[in-house]
């Protein structure tokens, strides 16, 4: 059975690069009927923090990458010590005293050529002559990365090591340890780097944002996963939007591109919009309610859920991230709105008191208050006034919402309601 692993270190948050590595491991396991192992590499007690661990676990679950087994390296020091002693006994390692700090266990490197058939890059050859003797156990008793990695991968029967190509230089060192310990070699696959749009490595300014921050900003997990898939793999046929269940049926690690992927946040925004458009508004309401409560826009025990879902529907097609709704629809929840000064300057420079009063009267006279009758009343009025509809549409919108853009004016008036529409227009007249 194929067994893969993702091995984050809780010395920082899970970022785009790590999430993509987790995805390619997870989807390969699912595609081949295998298992996905999560290993927390927390041997560095000074730098490992619980807040980072919590963020990593939350982010993986949010993205849908459920694991079959979970290991913590900090709980496995006895195992590493056992294998280090085996190498000492066999003369493949030696002790080196460190002044005042105890003894380190050092592996003897034998100069030779090492070949690996990388599933993505093909054959890679290394010259071990350039590699110095390797520390296995430091003088403080903690294992080094390469040694713990090999022991864990062998002990947990990892068949395929899929990781970023920044680990290529570790591969020959690890192969020597596999062979010295008599372990079976796994298959290796090294994923190309993810670069910023400008061509450099990712930084906080250029997309290296914690995955939990994408959640907070209002990206949907399925959109982010779809986008991560495209960073190095393609479903073919110029397709870009593909559900993970469908992708799982056709994914193969050998089809990953050898060239670096480019993180394009505009493309991610487009992808998120595609998923937001087709998502069930009821599910979007579930996601939005906590943020709306936190903002003080709604009270959970007084929530008119049907009304909220209706509002979501009128914005849904235009949302880039879910949080756009909170910014764009605030005027539906606020008692007092602030009018954007630029919008006021552009659309409310002249006195519209007469037209606004006339519109209020038309609204109050309506027996039936729905989108169609509101529009009919408005269009009859502008016809009588002998003006184009846009002369009034923009000023009314600004007074009702404080903004220049939003849903259609007649939908907006319907959901705002007759009374609030009247109050906001009258306030402006005064």
Contact 284, 326 (CB under 8 A): no
Cα distances from 337 to residues 5, 304, 400, 424, in angstroms, run 52, 21, 8, 9
pLDDT tens figures, 275-308: 999 999 999 999 999 999 999 999 888 889 999 9
Whether residue 160 sits in one domain with residue 104: yes
List for the chain the helix, strand, coil content (%; round to 5): 55, 15, 35
Q: Residue 291 is part of a domain; what is its CATH number? A: 1.10.8
Say whether both 417 and 324 belong to one domain: no
**Structural domain harbouring 319:** 279-332
Same structural domain for residues 263 and 370? no
Q: What span, in angstroms and rounded, lies between the C-alpha atoms of 84 and 250?
A: 42
Of 191, 212, 231, which marks where a domain is finished? 191
Same domain, 143 and 162: yes
- pLDDT confidence of 198, banded at 50, 70, 90? confident
Same-domain check for residues 345 and 326: no
Based on the domain organization, do 175 and 231 belong to the same domain?
Answer: no
Shared domain for 289 and 267, answered yes or no, is: no
CATH number at residue 247: 3.40.50.620
Over the stretch 17-71, which tens digit does the pLDDT of each residue have? Answer: 999 999 999 999 999 999 999 999 999 989 999 999 999 999 999 999 999 999 9
Instruction: Please check whether residues 69 and 80 belong to one and the same domain.
Output: no
Tell whether 91 and 172 lie within a shared domain.
Answer: yes
Is residue 133 located within the same domain as residue 218? no
Q: What beta strand segments (E) does 55-92 contain?
A: 69-72
Share of the chain above pLDDT 90, in %: 91
pLDDT the model gives residue 204: 55
Angle separating helix axes 409-416 and 418-429, nearest 10 degrees: 100
- Domains identified in the chain, total number: 4
CA 340 to chain centre: 32
* Eight-state DSSP code of residue 301: G
Last residue of a domain, one of 126, 156, 191: 191
| pLDDT score for 196 | 82
């Amino acid at each position: 059975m194929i067994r893969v692993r993702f091995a984050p270190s809780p010395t920082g948050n899970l970022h785009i690069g790590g999430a993509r590595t987790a995805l390619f491991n997870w989807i390969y396991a699912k595609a081949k009927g295998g298992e996905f192992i999560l290993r927390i590499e927390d041997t560095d007690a000074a730098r490992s923090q619980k807040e980072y661990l919590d963020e990593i676990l939350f982010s993986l679950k949010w993205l849908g990458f459920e694991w079959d087994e979970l290991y913590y390296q900090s709980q496995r020091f006895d195992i590493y010590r056992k294998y280090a002693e085996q190498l000492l006994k066999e003369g493949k390692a030696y002790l080196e005293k460190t002044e005042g700090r105890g003894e380190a266990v050092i592996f003897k490197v034998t100069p030779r050529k090492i070949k690996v058939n990388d599933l993505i890059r093909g054959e890679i050859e290394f010259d071990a002559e350039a590699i110095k003797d390797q520390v296995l156990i430091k003088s403080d008793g903690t294992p080094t990365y390469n040694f713990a990695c090999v022991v864990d991968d062998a002990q947990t029967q990892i068949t395929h090591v899929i990781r970023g190509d920044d680990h290529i230089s570790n591969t020959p060192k690890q192969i020597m340890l596999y062979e010295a310990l008599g372990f079976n070699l796994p298959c290796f696959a090294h994923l190309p780097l993810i670069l910023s749009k400008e061509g450099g490595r990712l930084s906080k300014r250029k997309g290296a944002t914690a995955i939990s921050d994408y959640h907070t900003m209002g990206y949907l997990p399925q959109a982010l996963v779809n986008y991560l898939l495209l960073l190095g793999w393609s479903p073919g046929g110029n397709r870009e939007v593909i559900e993970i269940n469908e992708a799982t049926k056709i994914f193969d690690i050998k089809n990953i591109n050898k060239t670096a992927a480019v993180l394009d946040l505009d493309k991610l925004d487009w992808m998120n919009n595609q998923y937001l458009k087709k998502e069930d508004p009821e599910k979007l309401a579930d996601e939005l309610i906590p943020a709306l409560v936190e903002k003080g826009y709604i009270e959970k025990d007084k929530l008119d859920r049907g009304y909220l879902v209706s509002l979501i529907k009128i914005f849904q097609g235009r949302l880039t991230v879910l949080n756009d709704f909170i910014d764009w629809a605030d005027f539906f929840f606020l008692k007092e709105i602030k009018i954007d000064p630029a919008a006021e300057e552009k659309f409310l420079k002249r006195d519209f008191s007469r037209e606004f009063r006339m519109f209020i009267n038309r609204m109050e006279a309506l027996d039936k208050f729905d989108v169609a009758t509101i529009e009919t009343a408005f269009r009859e009025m502008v016809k009588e006034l002998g003006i184009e509809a846009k002369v009034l549409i923009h000023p009314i919108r600004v007074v009702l919402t404080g903004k220049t853009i939003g849903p259609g004016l007649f939908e907006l008036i319907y959901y705002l309601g007759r009374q609030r529409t009247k109050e906001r227009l009258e306030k402006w007249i005064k």
